[in-house]
Amino acid sequence: MTRVYLVSQILQRLGYSVEIVGCQFGQSIYPPPPENLPVIPVPGKPLPGFMSSATQLLSQIRGDIIYAIKPRPTSLGIALLKKFYTRRPVFLDIDDWELSWFGGDGYDYRPSPKDFVRDFLKPDGDLRDMGHHYYVSLGERWVNHADVVTVNNQFLQQKFGGHYLPNSKDTHMFDPARFDPAASRQKYGLSDYRVLMFPGTARPHKGLEDVLMALDQLNQPDLRLVIVGGRKPDGYEDDLMARWPQWLIKLPRFPMEQMAEVVAAAHVVVVPQRDTPTAKAQFPIKLTDGMSMAKPILSTHVGDIPKILGDTGYLVAPHAPEELAKMLQIILDNPDQAAAQGSLGRERCIQHYSVDAMAERLGPLLERYVRRSSPHASPSAHCSSS
């Protein structure tokens, strides 16, 4: 949903009326939406019940432009079906190569008749789940049916084509001048520590184990890695907490409007991506969290990260706890230089990765299709996601 909100912010900045419509497969929406962004959730059901969910979704989509987030049947598939009936243009945004989680281009679902019966016809069959690998692969085959494709990194652009629309940040909301770091640390119980912050979901490809091993090497009792929010799709985060309780602090989920104050508490933002296909296909939004708040960023030479940071961050090789430990010590020993790098990072974020900068990229594309589809209507858009 974070990418949904970012795209919606850009559309709103351009003067569009935006509604988010999508299936909700779970008890809550994470992260919760901004107050000024209407969200219309439709209960998501496994097949065959999903057909009724799809009917409800189709009835809720009324915008001049349909902006599907992720190439899934539950988003792109619904958008293309609506286009068939209404001729409304479909934009598609891709921010992850989700098939990389299941083997990438080598994935091939070829079940035997017996397996198909088990997977689809049984009440607990895997193919009743709309998030199954097969449906992810199916959605990727439909990418070229969208009128416009936007992607958030070069890897995805090379794979799917489309227009580069990197992750952006509202640099007015995320403005370090609005916050006192010491007060933020006190508010969130971090006053006794030098804080390395990771805002997001813990996953193996994100390299948190490398940071924790680096902390083992440094062995400085006031250092802490603080994980903020994120989902818990599996037991990975719990495993980290069990293995490194001396270095880890977990903060809960916060609304988007509160995250700037939370990030203000950091001394360093860490984005230690590992060199995997999944990591290469991502633009870690934690980068713009740290850049916009003028924080020094410690990251790795993976994917677009060096290009995103330019000369404003601190980069080491992936899978290298020793290098992370050495670079972290350099950052902590030179706070004035680190602060200067953070300030440069904010300037770069405003110029290249702010909502205003992204509006300049996306505006001309949208205007062309709005005029074509509804020349006399007030501009509106529906973001479809699930």
Instruction: Identify the pLDDT of residue 379.
Output: 52
Residue 217 CA to its chain's centroid (Å): 31
Instruction: Identify the pLDDT of residue 234.
Output: 81
For the chain, the structural domain boundaries read 2-168+355-384, 176-352
Instruction: Identify the pLDDT of residue 351.
Output: 97
Nearest of 97, 72, 84 to residue 22 by alpha carbon = 72
Instruction: Identify the pLDDT of residue 381.
Output: 55
Find out whether the peptide bond into 48 is cis, omega within 30 degrees of 0.
Answer: yes
Side-by-side strand order, sheet with 194-199: 248-251, 223-228, 194-199, 268-271, 297-300, 314-316
- Hey, which CATH number is domain 176-352, 3.30.1600.10, 2.60.120.200, 3.30.465.10, 3.40.50.2000? 3.40.50.2000
Cβ–Cβ contacts within 10 Å for residue 235, how many?
Answer: 9
pTM for this prediction:
0.90
What 8-state DSSP symbol labels residue 379? Answer: P
Instruction: Identify the pLDDT of residue 385.
Output: 63
From the number of C-beta atoms within 10 Å of its C-beta (0-12, 13-18, 19+), residue 138 rates as: middle
Instruction: Identify the pLDDT of residue 378.
Output: 44
- Provide the H-helix boundaries in 281-320: 285-292, 305-309
Domains 2-168+355-384 and 176-352 share a fold: yes
CATH annotation of 2-168+355-384: 3.40.50.2000
Q: Helix 285-292 vs helix 256-263: angle between axes, to the nearest 10 degrees? A: 60
Find out whether the peptide bond into 31 is cis, omega within 30 degrees of 0.
Answer: yes
Instruction: Please answer whether residues 74 and 42 qualify as being in contact, where contact means their C-beta atoms are separated by less than 8 angstroms.
Output: no
Nearest of 173, 238, 175 to residue 201 by alpha carbon = 238
Compute the distance between CA of residue 89 and CA of residue 64 in angstroms, rounded to an integer: 8
Please give the structure tokens belonging to residue 147: 């009128």
Instruction: Identify the pLDDT of residue 307.
Output: 96
pLDDT, one tens digit for every residue, the chain (386 residues): 889 999 999 999 999 999 999 888 877 777 777 888 889 989 889 899 999 999 999 999 988 899 999 999 999 999 999 999 999 999 999 999 999 988 888 888 888 888 888 888 888 899 999 989 999 999 999 999 999 999 999 999 999 999 999 999 999 999 999 999 999 999 999 999 999 999 999 999 999 999 999 999 999 999 999 999 887 778 899 999 999 999 999 999 898 889 999 999 999 999 999 999 999 999 999 999 999 999 999 999 999 999 999 999 999 999 999 999 999 999 999 999 999 999 999 999 999 999 999 999 999 999 888 765 554 444 555 566 65
